[in-house]
A and B are shown apart, each in its own frame.
Chain A
Amino acid sequence: DSGVTQTPKHLITATGQRVTLRCSPRSGDLSVYWYQQSLDQGLQFLIQYYNGEERAKGNILERFSAQQFPDLHSELNLSSLELGDSALYFCASSERGGPDTQYFGPGTRLTVL
């Protein structure tokens, strides 16, 4: 158990809908990262937050957004969902925003029908 929690574990929804994925980092970690794992794209970095501020952005679509709240939990919002958004979404956290070890949560499996 990494100490990073994600909810829900599974999410099934329809195209065009909007969903919110939630992540709680390990106690004391200030940085949260979001990754997407799909069969065709592999594991890809989406976005990083550090102490509430956006720190780095990767291959995140404009339909997706994220935020980190004062209690350091983070949410990833996915809207106007398409079939191709079906994937495993992982959250990771690290102590600081630097080149530390990142600890991953169990992931949320999103299925868009």
Chain B
Amino acid sequence: SQQGEEDPQALSIQEGENATMNCSYKTSINNLQWYRQNSGRGLVHLILIRSNEREKHSGRLRVTLDTSKKSSSLLITASRAADTASYFCAYLIKAAGNKLTFGGGTRVLVKP
């Protein structure tokens, strides 16, 4: 399967702590994107990192990409209860058009 893998599947932390989740994929990619989904709702785009970039920041989010290891990580710093959601990585496979391939997601619970 070409579906990406994310770990952990679930994460429970206290407010103020950092949350880190990882995504691995199997083939060459154009870019990798991270999305957030609140329970049963739409996907909110968080950040896009291109294959020639290694790190990107957006507010409390930090994304890294290691194309040699075919992996990416998303770090949420100083987490808040409102960060409780599922987080998905999604990537565009080269030579496969523009269809996003999604990871299985990480469910994050931030306890107040």
Interface positions of A (Cβ within 8 A of B): 2, 31, 33, 35, 42-45, 48, 55-56, 58, 88, 90, 92, 94, 97-107, 109
Contacts and interface: CB of A to CB of B under 8 A. Distances in A.
B13 interface: no
17 contacts: A2-B44, A31-B98, A42-B104, A43-B90, A44-B102, A48-B97, A48-B98, A56-B98, A90-B42, A92-B100, A94-B98, A98-B98, A99-B98, A104-B44, A106-B41, A106-B42, A109-B40
A45 B33 CA distance: 15
B40 to A, nearest CB: 7
Contacts, number: 62
If over half of B's interface residues share one DSSP class (helix, strand or loop), that class is named, otherwise mixed; here it is: strand
B25 interface: no
A97 B98 CA distance: 7
Interface of B: 3, 30-31, 33, 35, 40-45, 48, 88, 90, 92, 96-102, 104-105
Contact of B98 (A35, A55, A109): A55
B31 A99 contact: yes
Contacts of B92: 99
Nearest to B4: A42
A56 B100 CA distance: 11
Contacts of B41: 106-107
Nearest to B91: A99
Contacts of A105: 42
A42 B105 contact: yes
A48 B34 CA distance: 20
Contacts of A99: 30-31, 92, 98
